[in-house]
Amino acid sequence: MTDDVTPNRRMVLVTGPAGAGRSSTLNVLEDAGFEAIDNIPMRMLRALLEAPGQLRPMALGVDLRNRDFSTDRVIELMSDMRSRPDVDIELLYLDCATNVLLRRFSETRRRHPMAATATPVEGIVREKELLEPVLALADVLIDTSELNVHQLRAEVERWFALDGEHHLSVSVQSFSYKRGLPRSADMVFDCRFLRNPYWEPSLRGMNGTQKEVADYVHADPLFESFAAQVNSLCQLILPACKTEGKSHISLAFGCTGGQHRSVTLAEHLAFKLSNDGWQVSIRHRELDRSKREETSR
């Protein structure tokens, strides 16, 4: 005798700044078999889950043009949906550099939704600042700055294609403890015990993606043992998460400034996991924040 198990409803919430490619992404997801709905009022999202019918996966586009959109409402919704045993929800955040968004609005001659009486760049910067708390919740982050429509399709399909095989997507990120823990992290590793490149004047202005900093961190006597232990833990946990049916897991490394040690560890683990065949994305929260601030100046 076998037990009848009702499959969970898969839901992908697609958001990000206007012009980053939300509509194109929803089209890709619809082609991939998702029921795609754009600009649905957020108060109606829970009702969708209760509606009778097939358990088709859903892709829902939300942004500032939604009538009742607010960052607090998105955070509350994600928390509520993640606590439900019958729903597998993922937040796909589409990001894009400010100068690229400005060019896209100029080419289409569209008015930015947050710049009714201001310049487009002011609207873009204001929207990005407002969406910061939502960005911190992202399960999957896709930067569309340098992607054409074909590359965007390939990237979305890589993460969300319904090919009948269950995939576990792994997000590895670095962060600064000064700015708080990332909301979406499932596992956090503190690497502040490693020696800090910040105190080396020649390395202070560099980051952990650069060879000089990475070599300095790797040379710490504790690095190899720590990295090996983390990798072994991942090799134990990730297959179990996949077997359990999880669709994503977020691993985070933190250090004081989120610039050197945590970046190096995140790069190191992402490379290892990718070589082992896992579907990995990498994000450096503080470095990404610095880039956005530079492009908005």
> Binding-site residues for ATP, please?
16-23
Task: Give residue 92's identity as a one-letter amino acid code.
Answer: L
Strand, helix or coil for residue 146: coil
Closest CA to 293 of 124, 138, 65, 119: 124
Contacts for 153 with CB less than 8 Å, ≥ 6 apart: 24, 28
> How far is residue 34's CA from residue 283's CA, in Å, rounded to a whole number?
26
Residue 73 tokens read as 């409402």
DSSP string, 213-242: HHHHHHTSTTHHHHHHHHHHHHHHHHHHHH
Instruction: Check if the beta carbon of residue 38 is closer than 8 Å to that of residue 63.
Output: no
Residue 105 tokens read as 């609005």
* Binding-site residue positions: 16-23, 63-66
SS3 content of the chain, % helix, strand, coil (to 5): 45, 20, 35
Looking from the CA of 224 toward its CB, the CA atoms found within 13 Å total: 3
* Binding-site residue positions for GTP: 63-66
Closest CA to 172 of 228, 252, 241, 229: 252
